Each structure stands twice: as C-alpha cells, then as structure tokens.
Amino acid sequence: MKTIIARNVNDALKQGIKLIKLNGEEVDSRVGKTLEIPCPVATVYQSPWERVLLNKERDANPFFHLMESIWILAGRKDVKFLSEFNKRIADYSDNGRTFNAAYGYRLRNSTGTVNSDKDQLLQVIEILKKDPTSRQAVAQIWDQEDLSNNTKDKACNMSIVFRIRNQELCMTVYNRSNDMVWGAYGANAVQFSMIQEYVAAKLNLPMGEYTQITNSYHVYTEGAGGIVWDRIKDQLETCENPYIKCPNLVLLCHDEMLDFEHDLNMFFNIYDNESWGLPEIGELSCWRSEYFKHLVIPVLCVYLIHKKYGAEEAMSYINSIYADDWRTACNDWLSTRITNQEAKQNTINK
C-alpha cells in the first residue's frame, strides 16, 4: 500500500500527481484507459476542514461540490437538485429522476424517512456518545444488491468508520475505485469531510484525521478526464498551500447544530416547493445558522445570478461569501467562465 500524508486536499493532489507519474501503470477500464497505482492507496488528511480545491488549472466546480455535500447531509437521492449545478450528473441516473447509490440516502434513509431509527449517522453518533472508545461506529454505503444490480450508479465509496482518539473525531472511508482528479481530490474530499464535520459537531468534538483508503487509485488518460489530466499533470507539483491566504473559514459548531438542521430542512423545503428566486432566497429571515447565512445561501445566490445574468454580474456579489476558501474557489471558477466567453467572442469576431 502507498500512503499520502497531506495537510489538505490541495497538498494531496500535488502528491497524487507525483505518485501517478512515478508509479502509474496503464490499465484498461470499461470507460477508457487509465493510469493506475498497482496497489491500494491511503490518503491521510491532517486538516480535513481545508477541503476546497483551489487551483485554476483543475477548474473544479465549487458550487456543485458544496451543494452536493449539503444534498448528501439531507439524505436525498433526486437528480433534479444536483442537475441545477451540473447537468452531466444526470447521465449517472438509470431513470432520470433518482440515483441508485446516493450516499446521503443510503446513510440517512434506510427506511425512506429522515431521522428515522435507521439513520446511520445518528446511530454512530449515539454509539460514540455512549462509548467514546467504541470501534463499532460503522456506516455502510455499499449494498449486497450492488454486486448484481445492472445500474449506471454503483457506489464507489463503500463504508465509513468513525472513532474518537485523543479527544478528536477521526474517520476512515473505504473506497473500491477512485479517479484521483474527479473523485478523490474533487468531490470526495468535500463530501466526506463535511460528513465528518457534521458528526464531530454533534459530538462536540474537533475533527481529527480523515483517511481515505482506495483500492483502485487512478486517473483517466482519455476523454474529458484525459484532457484535465494533461492540463494539470505538469502544473501542480510545486504549488504552495493556498490556505495560507484563507484565514476566515465557516465551519459547523456544536452550539448551532439545531439551527443548522432547521436550515437544512428549510433549504430543501423551499427548493421542493419551487420557490427559489432572486433576491428572495437571500433575504429570507428564516436562516438561523451561521453556516447557511454566511456560506450556503451566499454561494447559492452567486450561482443563481450567474445562471440568470452571467458570470460577470455574479462576480459583483462574490464578496457576500464570507469564507475565504469558498469565495476564492467561486471567484476563480467564474473568472475562468468569463475568460472562456471572451475568447469565444474574439474568435467569432475575427
């Protein structure tokens, strides 16, 4: 097994690029050629709350990553919400309406009812409250039916194990197959660190290390994945830690968990009632938690302005996002859209 010990996702990507370039072997897959590490890889995040990938070359979509993570915490499996931020995500649905292996639904809705006695996150929280030394706080994502199910959406991440050590909540995620660029150091670093943050806040504990163990650690060298790999493989190895410039973060805390859960339910109630709109969504007085008031809602408003009026108009509202990391990532993503549009227009004008 190879082990990457990283401060955060930006550090992990830097080390992952080097690992793939030194040790990657060509392996065919059902969706194209890959470079794969010939053994499992463990990534250990020492500061998992530094979860936002901040690099223009990678061009990760921070709006999608944040909203998908909120969607997971809400225990949902609908295609419609995620498609607001990433139209291509619908390609992974069998029926165009729901996902087969939605992580949040499997973790929180085993019986189809949020906060039921089958909510695995609430169960592991109770286990660790009763016995902080427990080694049985396991949340399962992979299902036996996945072995034979003919679906576009099979769970890549299989299980999450939590434990309390040195008065910190540590977490290990077991993964069967992970594209380093799109999965491991894109969506997963946000999704699972937010799950860890949620459980830690409920337990009134700081976050400890987050370890992700990947059985097949690879990058795609063809198609869209290959284009991104070619763009970043020689550009990120020497990048400095961008979190040095991000002192202001917005994180969950124990004292506001009731407010956060109120806001999480309200957020999706508003969406399901199709009452999202500008400026109404940003002006509602119902938001109680700092997390929604200073992060989720400002990020959403900037994105909605981008969709309705364009990236340049959205940039005018970017400073409404208090968190330095998310604001920087959103700013970079919008700037790239503006640059691409200008280049396209210049080509048309020639």
| Tens of pLDDT, residue by residue, the chain (350 residues) | 999 999 999 999 999 999 999 999 999 988 889 999 999 999 999 999 999 999 888 999 999 999 999 999 999 999 999 999 999 999 999 999 999 999 999 999 854 444 456 899 999 999 999 999 999 999 999 988 888 889 999 999 999 999 999 999 999 999 999 999 999 999 999 999 999 999 999 999 999 999 999 999 999 999 888 899 999 998 755 567 899 999 999 999 999 999 999 999 999 998 998 767 655 666 777 899 999 999 999 999 999 999 999 999 999 999 999 999 999 999 999 999 999 887 776 666 56
Is 140 in the same domain as 229? Answer: yes
Q: Are 42 and 211 in contact (CB under 8 A)?
A: yes
Whether 160 is in a domain gets the answer: yes
Is 321 in the same domain as 282? Answer: yes
Buried b (16+ CB within 10 A) or exposed e, 124-148: bbebbeeeeeeeebbbebbeeebee
CA distances from 197 to 53, 87, 224, 250 (A): 17, 28, 31, 11
CA atoms within 13 A on the CB side of 94: 11
3-state helix, strand, coil split of the chain in percent (to 5) is: 50, 15, 35
What residue numbers bound the domain in which 188 lies? 2-240
Q: What is the pLDDT of residue 236?
A: 58
Q: How many domains does the chain fold into?
A: 2
Is 156 known to be catalytic?
yes
Is 37 in the same domain as 150? Answer: yes
Q: What is the pTM of this model?
A: 0.94
Is 236 in the same domain as 262? Answer: no
- Residues 223, 153: Cα–Cα separation, whole Å: 19
Provide the token pair at 121: 């996150």
Whether 246 is in a domain gets the answer: no
Is 85 in the same domain as 137? Answer: yes
Q: Are 48 and 210 in contact (CB under 8 A)?
A: yes
Domain stop point among 184, 211, 240: 240
Q: Are 77 and 99 in contact (CB under 8 A)?
A: yes
Q: What is the pLDDT of residue 112?
A: 42
Catalytic residue (choose from 156, 170, 246, 330): 156
